[in-house]
Chain A
Amino acid sequence: QKEVEQDPGPLSVPEGAIVSLNCTYSNSAFQYFMWYRQYSRKGPELLMYTYSSGNKEDGRFTAQVDKSSKYISLFIRDSQPSDSATYLCAMSAGSNYQLIWGAGTKLIIKP
């Protein structure tokens, strides 16, 4: 079993829909949680960074962490075709950049 599980998709939704992307994990020591977006043939870019449990909002994006369930989510409101990309979750127990990555979910927003 992988430490971080993420459905690879693809997830296809119509423009304007609310998108929910999720990751589950097994290591209760994880306390730093990140979401990255990767466009085709580009490197991943950091979208959201969350420490411990709770919600964090940035524009149309909301990151949610539920440590009791070992479950993290990324919500995208008013989705746009430009949001079509692969979304990767990453997490760590501490510093030294030992990130553990999900496989990534391919998201397609249909105009």
Chain B
Amino acid sequence: KAGVTQTPRYLIKTRGQQVTLSCSPISGHRSVSWYQQTPGQGLQFLFEYFSETQRNKGNFPGRFSGRQFSNSRSEMNVSTLELGDSALYLCASNGVAGGPGTDTQYFGPGTRLTVL
């Protein structure tokens, strides 16, 4: 079974630009979550999509947005980039680790965004 794919792996942008990151979840998984990871803040939840609908949202400004397509692939977009947006952006494919009630997350390698 193929894992979670994220593209691109590395990205360098300048302040004010916008960026789109892509995530393909594990086949059969219908839910995708996005996280921002920085050394100081750890893993911070951005949003979760299930069947093309945003189901949960973290505490990030409106510059951060996402969407999910009918094939479960997801994109996140950050507009008007700021220096503080430099981080590792992780996509998680949400599924089950065992029987019912064992919901858990399987992560992709991440996209490392550097804003200059």
Contact = CB atoms under 8 A, between A and B. Distances in A.
Interface residues of A, number: 23
Nearest to B91: A43
B31 A49 contact: no
Categorize the interface residue count of chain B: 20 to 34
Given A97-B92, A104-B42, A49 B102 contact: yes
A95 B107 contact: no
Nearest to A8: B42
Interface string A29-47: 0001010100001111110
A111 to B, nearest CB: 26
Interface string A46-59: 10010100000000
A4 to B, nearest CB: 10
A102 B44 CA distance: 10
B50 to A, nearest CB: 8
B97 A49 contact: yes
Nearest to B6: A43
A88 interface: yes
Give me the 7 closest cross-chain CB pairs, A-B, nearest first: A43-B107, A49-B97, A95-B103, A97-B94, A103-B42, A101-B43, A44-B107
